[in-house]
Amino acid sequence: MTTQSTRIPPVTVPALHQMKADGRRISMLTCYDATFAFAMDHAGVDTVLVGDSLGMVVQGCDSTLPVTVDHIVYHAAAVARGLSRALLVADLPFLSYATPGRALDASRRLMGEGGAAMVKLEGAGPMLETIATLAQRDVPVCAHLGLTPQSVMKLGGFRVQGREAVAAQRLRADALAVQEAGADLLVLECVPRMLAAEITASLRIPTIGIGAGAQCDGQVLVMHDLLGLRGRHRTPRFVKDFLAESDSVEDAFAAYVAAVRDGSFPAQAHGFD
């Protein structure tokens, strides 16, 4: 665990790429305010995500769809004030990147007002032009494939993606496509562990898994899930309560970082075949 007097260089986009090259796993957690951001930073979390998951865990909604750019900007600015080392990623909310122009406007706000160093968006296909437009203008992009929560209505619920051969091939192709469009990072959510491992090995950019097995280059969890805060939503199988065996919230964050780095999390039980 770091201390206030410890001087550690901030995590950058090139540093994340180097971590993949070195085989050093990347830790990511969601965060929505300055106090928890400060604790994550001191615990050694590499990347902090202001996710549109705030719609469910903070606002009490049934999905991420009601979250707006204003919401993400507000929470990102608060989180940024608590960070000194971790790289801050902010979600582009539902339909805020429906066109490249709208994505540029929203990204300007997330980075300029919210202090984000990278923006995250879901999908490939029509989003490839948007990813390329952002990347060409030096906006770092984290892509998100597999279970994409903003598409929950179309997907018919929160379900594992890529189990069928056709769907698996599409995920492989989409992963390569977002990389070639200019994405610097890729989240794989609820993807069979073997498929996620194959995609990870095929890419130059790091992959961050959530319910995608231990062979991704890093892992992400929603902070509330890591702390065992159940709320009214069902706890996903890829979640582990790190606070249950820790003495404090910061110790729970540090335990998560250590487990990601040594490969003990996620375990077999946290993934899908």
- Catalogue the active-site residues: 189
Q: Which secondary-structure segment (H or E) carries 145?
A: strand 141-146
Tell me how many helices (H) and strands (E) the chain has.
Answer: 11, 8
Contacts of 2 (CB under 8 A, 6+ apart): 8, 41, 42, 43, 44, 85
Q: How far apart are CA 121 and CA 102, in angstroms?
A: 12
Q: What angle do CA 254, 8, 187 make, to 5 degrees?
A: 55
Per DSSP, the residues of 3-67 read -TT---PPP-HHHHHHHHHHT-PEEEEE--SHHHHHHHHHHT-SEEEE-TTHHHHTS--SSSTT-
Residue 49 CA to residue 110 CA, distance in Å, equals: 12
C-beta separation of 184 from 118 below 8 A: yes
Whether the Cβ atoms of residue 177 and residue 124 lie closer than 8 Å to each other: yes
The backbone region for 231, taken as left when phi is positive above 0, alpha when psi lies in -120 to 50, beta otherwise, is left
- How far is residue 7's CA from residue 35's CA, in Å, rounded to a whole number? 20
